Chain A
Amino acid sequence: NAGVTQTPKFQVLKTGQSMTLQCAQDMNHNSMYWYRQDPGMGLRLIYYSASEGTTDKGEVPNGYNVSRLNKREFSLRLESAAPSQTSVYFCASSTGTANTGELFFGEGSRLTVL
Chain B
Amino acid sequence: SQKIEQNSEALNIQEGKTATLTCNYTNYSPAYLQWYRQDPGRGPVFLLLIRENEKEKRKERLKVTFDTTLKQSLFHITASQPADSATYLCALDGDNFNKFYFGSGTKLNVKP
Contact = CB atoms under 8 A, between A and B. Distances in A.
Interface residues of B, number: 26
Contacts, number: 63
Contacts of A42: 4, 6, 89, 102-105
B43 interface: yes
Interface string A9-48: 0000000000000000000000101010000111111001
Contacts of A48: 98-99
Interface in B71-112: 89, 91, 93, 97-105
Kindly name the residue among B6, B89, B93, B102 whose own CB sees the greatest number of chain A CB atoms within 10 A.
B102
A52 interface: no
A101 B33 CA distance: 9
Interface string B24-41: 000000011010100001
A58 B99 contact: yes
Contact of B8 (A40, A43, A100): A40
Contact of B46 (A4, A35, A98, A102): A102
B28 to A, nearest CB: 13
Nearest to A43: B102
A96 interface: yes
A74 interface: no
21 contacts: A41-B104, A42-B4, A43-B89, A43-B102, A44-B102, A45-B100, A48-B99, A50-B98, A58-B99, A59-B101, A90-B43, A94-B98, A97-B97, A100-B49, A101-B97, A103-B34, A103-B44, A104-B46, A105-B44, A107-B43, A108-B43
Given A31-B98, A101-B34, 16 more contacts: A33-B100, A35-B102, A42-B89, A42-B103, A42-B105, A43-B102, A45-B102, A48-B98, A48-B99, A90-B43, A98-B97, A101-B97, A102-B49, A105-B43, A105-B45, A107-B43
Interface of B: 4, 6, 8, 31-32, 34, 36, 41-46, 49, 89, 91, 93, 97-105
